[in-house]
Structure 1
Amino acid sequence: MNHLLGSVKDVLACLRQGSVSAVELAEAALQQQETMARLNAFISRTAESALKAAEKSQKRLEKKENVGPLEGLPVAVKDNFCTAGIPTTCGSKMLQNYVPPYSATVVRRLERAGAVMIGKTNLDEFAMGSGTVDSSFGATRNIYRSGVRYRVQTQGESDVPTEGLDGDWYVAGGSSGGSAVAVASGSAFLSLGSDTGGSVRNPASYCGVVGMKPSYGVVPRMGLISLVNSMDVPGLFGRYVDDVATMLGVIAGLDSRDSTSVSSSLSNLKLPEEPRLDGLVVGIPREYHCPGLSSEVVDVWTKVADLMEDSGAELRQVSMPHTKYSILCYSVLNPCEVASNFTRYTGVEYGHRVDASHSMEAMYALTRSAGLNDVVRGRILAGNYFLLRENKEKYYEQALKVRRLILQDFENVWNSGVHFLLTPVTLSAALRYSEFSSLDNRTQTATQDICTQASNMAGVPAVTVPVSLNEEGLPLSLQLMAPRGEDADLLSVAKWIEQHLKFPRLCIL
């Protein structure tokens, strides 16, 4: 267990020194996965292939030949990334038996670096959600206050609750909740998620781990099953900022099979040991003081901003006036791209099929009705409506114009001399399931994505860093954003926050 809750750097050192073997580590991670089964973080376990990969890693470690930067490290992959020979379901009945013939670029890069994939993680169906409660494979539970026995390293703070709840539980966030819980619970050191409107940063915030959405194009999308092509970004989870930086250094870079990918200088990324804030200008956007923002989030936001100012940064209030339109814009653009992307799910070439011998149209209709949930079908219908000839200019083209204005808000801030933005991630700490499920998926997503969605519109990098626990013992996190392509500098500032806030870490008993 000590190894499973360590940093990537420390565990890789142990693997290289031989104090733990790759096989032992894989076995421990798989056992932890079983122990934490009540959290429902995983859709599928890949125990057999993981142990084979771990054996190969151990041989390379022993021979000290062709040792990759993640050699022997257990990782998890969100189940909307294609994995050759391993089911990829997207949390949907439509693809519950789909086995891709190829792996996503990011998966191949992780495997080439020596990482050992221990399983595919749960998600809202086709990544449409903010709670990981709308999966065909059941909801994922947050590890905090879940009944799992743990303690926290409070480092002088008052004691916080660690016991479980009676009859209720906290949501993990979404749509990449399984990947966040896999890391938080010690089942994996790193995990892949996808972020279209906040789907990595939201669960990272709720689960007390680091979650990053890189600049659009920095990490290739090839093999990530499409939701909204113009905003989808492979995302990263780790317990520490350095962990995420190590992973980014492995998976970033140009991919000839992805026309939206770009070259980068992030290979073998290493962050400064002790980052500094001298000379940096940090913007505080007034529009992120949004309706519904809890007082405890405002308090930690103020605390961290004051601390950064006391440590050499210049704090500057800025305005991003079109932020408030981001969710409305997203509510049009998302369904439009969904309507286009989801025409492929007909049951003809792959996926679930309902037999209807009397007509092809009937087979399509019955297949999609049986294979896709109400949320997915609703977005398809909305997208088709927005794209009707008489509606396209009124809705779709107008939304594209608003998206440009949102991007200009970011560009105006960067051009004014601001280097980073510090904002909330979510409006509050994790919600209880009973409270979360009282709203429908569309309303809940629109509420939860208020602080995260605009960065997807603009393609800028963003990272979530846990900073404290509230009185209920739940994590509170903040978000940093930077100009497009400044991913390394963004992580350096995130590391500074991590070092100075010393978030209380979980110790699972």
Structure 2
Amino acid sequence: MLRASLRQRGSRFLPVPPRRGLCHPAVLKDGLRSQVSAALKEGQVTPTELCQRCLARIKSTKFLNAYITVAEETALKQAEESEERYKRGQPLGILDGIPIAVKDNFNTAGIETTCASNMLKVNSMDVPGILTRCVDDAAVLLGSLAGHDPKDSTTIQDDFRPFELPNLTDVSKLSIGIPKEYHAPGLSSEILGLWSKAADLFKNAGAKVVEVSLPHTRYSIVCYHVLCTAEVASNMARFDGLEYGHRSDKKDSTESMYAATRREGFNDVVRGRILSGNYFLLKQNYEKYFVKAQKVRRLIANDFAKVFRSGVDILLTPTTLSDAAPYTEFIQEDNRTRSAQDDVLTQAANMAGLPAINVPTALSERGLPVGLQFIGRSFQEKQLLTVAKWFEKQVQFPMIQLEEVKRHDNGVFQHQKSASFS
């Protein structure tokens, strides 16, 4: 997963419009984007056939509850239009005809945006996360996604030029930083072992591997909680049932309608964030919490800047403390606690506004995929992705076939235990 320089549940399926979209490229027999593009160009498959296959797969994997809205008619219509362009030899680009899924908090013309709730959630810290089957595909989708959006004040106005990733063969000029603070409480010995092996991989290939310090990283989660809940409280104030979002049928009075609307429209998690945010924004608390969190955010960013100024090119860290928790274990803790645990290793890059990518690395002892995170310099996505591509090639993580997941077999990954590196 790639997070561009500065994150977002539930998706909507639609065909890719030219040069747009959060990606999860549909695959032809679970192939790569490049293979699908080539198949379309050579006429081995048509956009309509590809779209139909994707729609069939969505239906056959409905138990995953991955999609909120499937724009089937629109998808097929646009696939037909793409097919005509291919017949004329005039495709709009390498993504023309490839379906995508878009997280359901991106506004899409003509398709309802729900944010998986009765009320719409807005958060300036959210940025698109690109999910692809290889690093090269992430670069392609980034090229389509990046750039200034005049309707989004949080996007950078500088020009962005799409790029192709080179095949890195010599890493001797690279300096890889290992932040000691990421050896966090709760980090499993399994993840720690993979992290150490990855560092050795770079070192043995000739790269300089150095320990670095990001002293304010441990405050990132608390800082994020204050800033995020403050934004949520501010942004959610508009959803009163009059102009935006859900409206309750309770009409005893305007005040009771407001209260019922927000009670029905927001779940416990969102209501908790609104209450927290409003508390932090109280006049007597504003300086103590909100302003202080902004200052801490700057200190976090300064830590990263200092490390990169020292000559470090890329930071290598764990992505998660362990492999994925079973559902029965996951629900034992409240959402805030679980989120804090899950995000402790990735949140700092968001707070600092840096590009980061998770690269699948190995399978855990339980047969679950785990990855490592690479963090790059601000607006240096090409360098970050080039290094990630090199690492991806070294570890040779096998592609997990969805057909195996569909069998609901807990042991489907066991035969792929070779998904590790030494």
Q: Aligned residue for 2:34? A: 9
SS at 2:93's partner residue?
coil
Aligned equivalents of 1:40, 1:368: Cα separation in 2: 26
* Larger CA deviation: 268-277 vs 405-414: 268-277
Q: Aligned residue for 1:50? A: 75
Aligned equivalents of 1:305, 1:34: Cα separation in 2: 42
Aligned equivalents of 1:20, 1:243: Cα separation in 2: 19
Q: Aligned residue for 2:16? A: none
Q: Aligned residue for 1:61? A: 86
Indicate if the aligned counterparts of 1:238 and 1:244 stay in contact, CA closer than 8 A: yes
Q: Aligned residue for 1:244? A: 138
Instruction: Tell me which amino acid in the other structure corresponds to 2:255.
Output: E
Aligned equivalents of 2:240, 2:145: Cα separation in 1: 32
| Offset of residue 273 of structure 1 | 3.0
| Offset of residue 400 of structure 1 | 1.1
Aligned equivalents of 1:507, 1:332: Cα separation in 2: 40
Indicate if the aligned counterparts of 2:355 and 2:375 stay in contact, CA closer than 8 A: yes
| Cα pair distance change 1:256/1:2, threshold 3 Å | closer
| Offset of residue 421 of structure 1 | 0.3
2:74 counterpart of 1:26: no
Q: Aligned residue for 1:82? A: 107
Instruction: Tell me which amino acid in the other structure corresponds to 1:465.
Output: V
Indicate if the aligned counterparts of 1:468 and 1:475 stay in contact, CA closer than 8 A: yes
SS at 2:131's partner residue?
strand
Aligned counterparts, 1:8-407, within 5 A: 8-94=33-119, 126=121, 226-227=122-123, 229=124, 231-263=125-157, 266-274=160-168, 276-407=170-301
SS at 1:69's partner residue?
coil
| Offset of residue 239 of structure 1 | 0.7
| Offset of residue 2 of structure 1 | 7.6
| Cα pair distance change 1:232/1:508, threshold 3 Å | closer
The Cα RMSD (Å) is 1.5
When normalised by structure 2's length, the TM-score is 0.87
SS at 2:192's partner residue?
helix
| Offset of residue 350 of structure 1 | 3.1
Indicate if the aligned counterparts of 1:276 and 1:496 stay in contact, CA closer than 8 A: no
Aligned equivalents of 2:170, 2:254: Cα separation in 1: 63
Indicate if the aligned counterparts of 1:253 and 1:264 stay in contact, CA closer than 8 A: yes
| Offset of residue 328 of structure 1 | 1.2
**Of residues 319, 322, 346 in structure 2, which corresponds to 1:452?**
346
SS at 2:237's partner residue?
helix
Which ranges of structure 1 fall in alignment gaps of 5 or more residues? 96-125, 127-225
| Offset of residue 257 of structure 1 | 2.7
2:325 counterpart of 1:442: no
| Offset of residue 67 of structure 1 | 2.5
SS at 1:498's partner residue?
helix
Q: Aligned residue for 2:307? A: 413
Indicate if the aligned counterparts of 1:241 and 1:498 stay in contact, CA closer than 8 A: yes
* Larger CA deviation: 442-451 vs 252-261: 252-261
The Cα offsets for residues 102-133 of structure 1, whole Å up to 9 and x where unpaired, read as xxxxxxxxxxxxxxxxxxxxxxxx4xxxxxxx
The alignment covers a number of residue pairs equal to 378
The Cα offsets for residues 37-92 of structure 1, whole Å up to 9 and x where unpaired, read as 11111111111111011100111011012532301101100011111221211111
Which ranges of structure 2 fall in alignment gaps of 5 or more residues? 1-25, 404-422
Instruction: Tell me which amino acid in the other structure corresponds to 2:60.
Output: T
